[in-house]
Amino acid sequence: MLVRKSVALSLGLLVRLTSLALAQDPLPIYPQNYKVIVENERVRVLDFRLRKGAREGMHSHPAHVVYVVAPFRIRFTFPDGHTVVRVAKAGDVLYSEAVTHASENIGDTDAHGILVELKTAGAAAGDVLTAVTFIQGKPEMETEVKRELQSLTAPTRAEAGNLGYDLYQSADRPGEFMRLEVWRNADALELHKASPYLKASFERRKDQGWMTEITRWKRVPE
């Protein structure tokens, strides 16, 4: 009964979250920073510029190569909160796996590079998978349940295959929670389920008698 009611209530949130995850592409968010040079079924080549002192909020890139046109010093902030400062000089060629981060140009000059994004099946919009998980704990353990679930947020958002991960608590039944997760593909979700920290959390929840049910959703093309 809980699951059927929760599904009905969450459909609107599900569509909204999936749309937000797909909108993490920085091109429509920061058109002043990115210009498409070439795009086909295998790559997207972008002319990238980030002015001195400018910032970009959290966004995602698939695996990519950067050719540095002008030297830069950029501070990247990742979903788990840790930061890394990358310094590069003109002519450097840099490679990165798929990543989600925010960025800030903390150097003395505007940053400029050619960004070659590699298109893979795992990054295709049609492969995106949304998981809706329902968790019900004992009412008197509301605080413990919330603390346990919140502890999973940072490490999950730091996973390369994760596009969105948010926790909701029932406004009417405080002991009931719903988690909306968006993954690049089904394989990314399976890797997450096999992670040691998630398996340990699941065992703790099971020992305490919490109910957990996960359902998987695919977006219907318009």
pLDDT, mean of residues 199-214: 86
The pLDDT score that the predictor gives to residue 17 is 45
The pLDDT score that the predictor gives to residue 51 is 96
pLDDT, mean of residues 84-89: 94
pLDDT, mean of residues 43-52: 94
With beta carbons less than 8 A apart as the criterion, state whether 47 and 34 touch: yes
pLDDT, mean of residues 197-202: 89
Predicted confidence band at 43 (pLDDT cuts at 50, 70, 90)?
confident
Predicted confidence band at 132 (pLDDT cuts at 50, 70, 90)?
very high
The pLDDT score that the predictor gives to residue 222 is 62
pLDDT, mean of residues 139-166: 86
The pLDDT score that the predictor gives to residue 71 is 94
The pLDDT score that the predictor gives to residue 23 is 39
Per residue in 67-86, pLDDT (tens digit) is 999 999 999 998 888 899 99
SS3 content of the chain, % helix, strand, coil (to 5): 30, 40, 30
What DSSP assignment string belongs to 142-182?
HHHHHHHHHTTHHHHHTSTTEEEEEEEE-SS-TTEEEEEEE
More confident residue, 193 or 52: 52
Q: Which amino acid is at 217?
A: W
The pLDDT score that the predictor gives to residue 159 is 86
Mean residue pLDDT across the chain: 83
Question: Torsion angle of alpha carbons 199, 205, 211, 216, nearest 10°?
Answer: -20
Task: Say if residue 2's pLDDT is above 70.
Answer: no
Predicted confidence band at 106 (pLDDT cuts at 50, 70, 90)?
very high
Q: How far is CA 151 from the centre of its chain?
A: 16
Distance, in Å, from the CA atom of 155 to the CA atom of 192, rounded to the nearest integer, reads 10
Nearest to 38 by CA among 29, 30, 47: 47
